[in-house]
Amino acid sequence: MERHPISVSHETIYQFVYSADGRKNELWKYLPERRTRRRPRHARRRHGRRFPPNLAFYTARTWLLDVNSLGIGNVS
């Protein structure tokens, strides 16, 4: 198998697909994610709550105080 003397990086392809000409030809349809607009490379995604409300700090503290009242360790 021969290698072609010209190579194009994936970034160049994506830049063309999301350019005005590429959008006009709807080339984004042939991409794996099929997005009409490009997402920034290291964009933060929105996350919901990290911990459910029943594991919040204020409820955990009351639970620790209940354990302390049982005589298991010294938690203050």
pTM, to two decimals: 0.43
Please state the rounded mean pLDDT for residues 45-73.
Answer: 65
> Among residues of the chain, what percentage have pLDDT more than 70?
47
Residue 18: what are its φ and ψ, rounded to 5°? -90, 5
Amino acid at 67: V
What is the number of domains present in the chain? 1
Residue 45 lies in a domain: no
Residue 59 lies in a domain: yes
Residue 18, domain extent: 10-39+52-69
pLDDT confidence tier of residue 67, bands split at 50, 70 and 90: low
Evaluate if residue 75 carries a pLDDT over 60. Answer: no
